[in-house]
């Protein structure tokens, strides 16, 4: 059983603990992979599914990139530079034009009181590399919103387009002016489209 499967089990356990019959599940990036796995293993728990800036499997390039990030993180050198190297992949050019915003995000990341250990990050990288939903993706039949940032470099738009084509009951929504971190760069648009989808207002989000 892969790391993604174990995390899906954890999510199911939380849903049961909260005594919820069904949930509208939103998963971003690796969280989208967990959401897909949860929908496969526990279809009765999921009422609606929102897959944000994710993919049914990671690209070879991304696997190599994440491995390099893991090596750098394990070295312990210049944590600010390490975080910046990730920000370059998940935000648009416009984000970096606001130096105050960049500094604020870096300050938050560097001062986070529960930082991930190098070992945990390495395990996260491996869990993502091991995940592949392509053999069973078409069996996820719950209403699904596939949400993508127009300028996503890490999980390009073609990944979301493929998900929307393969999932039997899915619609694709592309958010302009956003890269991988859709919810951070375009929070109002993100919240509106997710709320509309969860309320069943299909006309409000269909691309």
| Residue 34 CA: distances (Å) to CA of 38, 59, 104, 111 | 6, 17, 29, 27
List own/partner pairs for 193-201 with CB under 8 A and 24 or more apart: 193/145, 193/147, 194/26, 194/50, 194/145, 194/147, 197/48, 197/50, 197/143, 197/145, 198/24, 198/48, 198/50
Task: Kindly tell me the burial class for residue 40, based on how many C-beta atoms sit within 10 Å of its own C-beta (0-12, 13-18, 19 or more).
Answer: middle
Category of 117 on φ-ψ map: left (φ > 0), alpha (ψ -120 to 50) or beta: beta
Task: Say how far apart CA 49 and CA 194 lie, in whole Å.
Answer: 10
Q: Taken in order 154, 182, 85, 132, is the CA torsion positive or negative?
A: negative
Residues in the chain where the model's pLDDT stays below 70: 1-2, 201-207
Q: How far apart are CA 100 and CA 164, in angstroms?
A: 36
pLDDT value of residue 77 = 86
Q: How many domains does the chain have?
A: 1
pLDDT of residue 156: 97
- pLDDT for 200 equals 82
Encoding tokens for residue 198? 């969860």
Q: Say if CB 30 and CB 63 are below 8 A apart.
A: no
Q: What is the pLDDT of residue 201?
A: 60
Q: How many residues does the chain have?
A: 207
pTM equals 0.94
Q: Under a CB-based contact definition with an 8 Å cutoff, are residues 54 and 145 in contact?
A: no
Domain of residue 175 covers 1-207
Summarize the chain as % helix, strand, coil (round to 5).
60, 15, 30
Domain containing residue 118: CATH number: 3.40.50.1820
Predicted confidence (pLDDT) per residue in 149-170, tens digit? 999 999 999 999 999 999 999 9
pLDDT reported for residue 2: 62
Read off the tokens for 8.
């899906």
């Amino acid at each position: 059983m892969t790391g993604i499967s174990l995390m899906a089990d954890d999510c199911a356990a939380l849903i049961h603990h909260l005594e919820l019959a069904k949930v509208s599940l939103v998963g971003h990036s690796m969280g989208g992979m967990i959401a897909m796995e949860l929908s496969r293993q526990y279809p009765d728990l999921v009422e609606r599914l929102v897959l944000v800036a994710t993919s049914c499997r990671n690209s070879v390039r991304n696997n190599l990139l994440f491995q390099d990030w893991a090596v750098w993180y394990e070295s312990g050198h210049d944590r600010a530079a390490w975080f910046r190297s990730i920000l370059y992949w998940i935000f648009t050019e416009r984000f970096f034009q606001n130096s105050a915003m960049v500094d604020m995000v870096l300050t938050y990341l560097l001062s986070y009181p529960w930082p991930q250990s190098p070992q945990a990050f390495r395990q996260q990288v491996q869990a993502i590399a091991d995940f592949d939903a392509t053999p069973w993706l078409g069996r996820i039949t719950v209403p699904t919103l596939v949400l993508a940032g127009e300028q996503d470099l890490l999980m390009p738009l073609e990944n979301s387009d493929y998900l929307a084509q393969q999932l039997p009951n899915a619609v694709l929504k592309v958010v302009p002016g956003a890269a991988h971190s859709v919810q951070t760069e375009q929070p109002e648009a993100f919240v509106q489209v997710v709320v509309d989808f969860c309320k069943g207002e299909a006309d409000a989000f269909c691309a």
